[in-house]
Every structure is written in C-alpha cells, then in structure tokens.
C-alpha cells in the first residue's frame, strides 16, 4: 500500500490558499498553506477497517510582478515547500522539502482583481517515507498548470 500512497498523496497536487504582500514596487513576499484530511471505511466482506489520511504543507515564497500593459503581466514566484502526509492504516508517514517555482501570467480586468494562469514546478530537495519503523528516501518532481484568482487591496 505504501508504494501506491507515495505516488498519489503529494501535497503539490492539492488546492492551496495563499497570501502575498507587496513590500516594494513589484516585489512580493508571502506563502500558501495546504491542509487536507479524509477518512474512509473499507469492507472486504471478511473484515472492515477505517483509514484516515492527513496532509499538511507550508510554502513561503518571494516574487516579482511586472505588467506589460494595464491589463496583462507576469508574476514569477519561488520558495521552499514543506510537506507532511500521515496515512493511519499502514502507519505511513511522508515528509520533505521541495523547491517550488511558478510563473503565472496576470490578466487584470480591473485594478482590484486578476486571473492567474501559468506553469508550476515542484522539485524535492529531500523526501522520506517511514512505514513500520523502516525509512526510505524518494524523489518527487511535479510539473503542471495552475490557475488562480487574486484580489488586491
């Protein structure tokens, strides 16, 4: 079971809530939080069990936003992501750090709202899993497209 869980429960793939603050013209600092928890009950006809999975993540970042025109821009951001996954049934625990980069394009229909769309990359700097007292290191590489909505105050 541990091999399947390692490949499927990666916090980089989960939605996250983020906040950024512009400390200077175009320069931002901020981060995002990841939290997911689920419980499931399985019944094989012979025995039943209840499993729970909890995912936690924290991703501080810095970036620089620049506008090409009044309504179009780009906002590259990068940082380090910490992740932790607990899978109770098999006593699997995964944790690690990753380099996270994203380069969303900004489409701003107004001064207070922007639509973000662009590539994202997560590369594990260190990641390990422990099951039943045995530990193993593994690699994670994630590449995808992100979409978001930004509000400016």
* Segment 24-67, tens digit of pLDDT: 999 999 999 988 888 877 766 776 677 788 889 999 999 999 99
Q: How far is CA 24 from CA 4, 28, 29, 46, in A?
A: 44, 7, 10, 63
Q: Which is more confident, 147 or 53? A: 147
Mean pLDDT throughout 133-151?
Answer: 87
The pLDDT of residue 2 is: 40
CA distance 30 to 68: 23
The pLDDT of residue 8 is: 53
pTM greater than 0.85 (yes/no): no
Mean pLDDT throughout 122-144?
Answer: 85
> Is pLDDT at 119 greater than 80 in this prediction?
yes
CA distance 75 to 66: 6
CA distance 14 to 144: 12
Domain topology for 2-151? Lipocalin (2.40.128)
The residue ranges of every structural domain in the chain are 2-151
CA distance 34 to 79: 15
């Amino acid at each position: 079971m541990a091999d399947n869980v390692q490949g499927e429960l990666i916090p980089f793939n989960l939605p996250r809530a983020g906040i950024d603050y512009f400390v200077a013209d175009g320069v931002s600092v901020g981060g995002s939080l990841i939290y997911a928890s689920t419980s499931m009950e399985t019944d094989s006809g012979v025995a039943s069990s209840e499993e729970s999975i909890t995912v936690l993540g924290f991703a501080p970042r810095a970036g620089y936003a620049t506008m090409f025109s009044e309504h179009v821009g780009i906002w590259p951001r990068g940082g380090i992501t910490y992740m932790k996954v607990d899978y109770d049934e098999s006593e699997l625990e995964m944790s690690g750090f990753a380099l996270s980069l994203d380069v969303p394009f900004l489409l701003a229909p107004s001064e207070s709202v922007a639509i973000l769309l662009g590539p994202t990359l997560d590369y594990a700097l260190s990641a390990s899993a422990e099951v039943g007292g045995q530990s193993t290191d593994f690699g994670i590489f994630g590449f995808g497209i992100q979409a978001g909505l930004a509000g400016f105050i």
